Amino acid sequence: MPSTLRLMLLSAGSLLAHKLIEALGPRRARCMLIGTNSIAEASGNFRCDVAYLVPPAASGAAYVDRVEEIVREEAPDLVIPCRDDDVLALAMLRERGSAGGAVLLSGSVAAAHIMNDKLETPRFAARHALPFAPTASNAAEALALAKAHGLPLIGKPRRGFASRGVVLLRSPAEIERAFAQSTDLLAQPYLDPPSDMDALVAPFEAGLPFVFSFPESGVYTLQVIVGPDGRTSDSYAALARQAGGVAVELRRCDDPRLLESGDAYGRAAAAEGWIGPLNVQLKRTPDGRFVAYELNGRFSGTVADQLYMGRDALHRVVRRFLPAVDFPAIDVSESDLVQRHLCSYPVLREGAAALHASGRWVR
């Protein structure tokens, strides 16, 4: 009988949690899945074996305290953050040193801030001479960026995820208004713009479209894993085509220059106290350089897609952090192209009621 891996997923209702469960494949039978989530009516809760209702991760100490209690009660082997807020919370819990024998898949608090604070990220890249998009934190700096790199700029919250709050800044007036209205805004050049950019960002004179999606076909995603000893795995990459900010198609990419960027980012992150998965998002500039514009200290949402391309990230992590656990690699027929389609999962009526009533549901 294979040993059971007690696997805890923070934010079990997230897209990444669904992708991690998909990446388990037939190994799901070897796992006891423990999920936490701040929303009872989330289908990912009920793909776990036990689920807990917790405060929102953004609540800070209350969230960390509750996760600590669950870790003590459930004694997981491995705890995986599935949202950016979880990364920082798990780093804080790791710093407390009170997780028993559980492996918390996060680095130091200082390293987690590099991932979560989009102003700290370019500073980190500069310290290590890594290619990163120029980043402005005020209107004057953004106007200078526009003059040097052209319009539009990408405006994004200093702390955010999943393209939420991301805007196109199409003119100096929009730049000034955006920074006047927000104290948490950053701006970057639009790397690798489409050839019909002018038409795409033209003012909507006849009203705003009810549904608007900016096309993206040149987003590169890199994944590298920093082990508990600080050594990095070989990085692997894919080129994504996105619709509505979500990848709908991924193509394997083995460009040596791109993979070298992943290795360099992994070594730099390890030097600053990071362990666990590191996700790097990049664009290719017209002169052929790969330039990063965002980091995440967690698995990429492409973790299941990468499996179909022959890259078993979960196996790599378990092998590095829990070598005694029986968790075999999945042998798949490798693909160079993976296409994504919607799936449906039920929200159990009695399960949601149990979470609301007692904060805990068991399969």
Q: How far is CA 186 from the centre of its chain?
A: 19
Stated pTM of the model: 0.94
**pLDDT over threshold 70, residue 48:** yes
Q: How far is CA 28 from the centre of its chain?
A: 22
Residue 193 is predicted with a pLDDT of 78
**pLDDT over threshold 70, residue 277:** yes
Phi/psi for 290 (5° steps) reads -95, 120
**pLDDT over threshold 70, residue 26:** yes
**β-strands 103-104, 167-169: how paired?**
unpaired
**pLDDT over threshold 70, residue 7:** yes
Phi/psi for 301 (5° steps) reads -65, -5
User: Can you tell me the distance from the alpha carbon of 362 to that of 14, in angstroms, rounded to the nearest whole number?
Assistant: 19
Task: Give yes or no for a cis peptide into 152 (omega within 30° of 0).
Answer: yes
Q: Give percent of the chain with pLDDT exceeding 70.
A: 98
**pLDDT over threshold 90, residue 98:** no
Contact 10, 83 (CB under 8 A): yes
**β-strands 216-226, 236-243: how paired?**
antiparallel
Across the range 293-319, mean pLDDT stands at 94
**pLDDT over threshold 60, residue 1:** no
Q: Residue 313: helix, strand or coil by DSSP?
A: helix
Across the range 35-53, mean pLDDT stands at 98
Residue 192 is predicted with a pLDDT of 82
Count of beta carbons in the 10 Å neighbourhood of residue 213:
11
Residue-averaged pLDDT of the chain? 93
Residue 172 is predicted with a pLDDT of 95
The pLDDT tens digits of the residues spanning 124-138 come to 999 999 999 999 999
Residue 354 is predicted with a pLDDT of 98
**pLDDT over threshold 90, residue 295:** yes
Whose structure tokens read 């378990």?
318
91-119 CB burial, b ≥16 within 10 A, e <16? bbbbeeeebeebbbbbbbeebbbbbbebe
Across the range 243-254, mean pLDDT stands at 90
The pLDDT tens digits of the residues spanning 85-97 come to 999 999 999 999 9
**pLDDT over threshold 60, residue 2:** no
Across the range 146-174, mean pLDDT stands at 87
Higher pLDDT, 322 or 195: 322
Q: Give percent of the chain with pLDDT exceeding 90.
A: 80
* Confidence band of 286 (pLDDT split at 50, 70, 90): confident
* Confidence band of 214 (pLDDT split at 50, 70, 90): confident
The pLDDT tens digits of the residues spanning 160-173 come to 765 677 888 999 99
Alpha-carbon dihedral 293, 297, 303, 307, rounded to 10 degrees = 100
Contact 164, 157 (CB under 8 A): yes
Bridge partners of 6? 32
Of 25, 67, 10, 110, the residue nearest 305 (C-alpha) = 25
Phi/psi for 348 (5° steps) reads -70, 125
CATH numbers and ranges of domains, the chain: 5-127+215-362 (3.30.470.20), 139-190 (3.30.1490.20)
Which residues are CB-contacts of 23 (< 8 A; sequence separation ≥ 6)? 303, 304, 307, 312, 313, 314
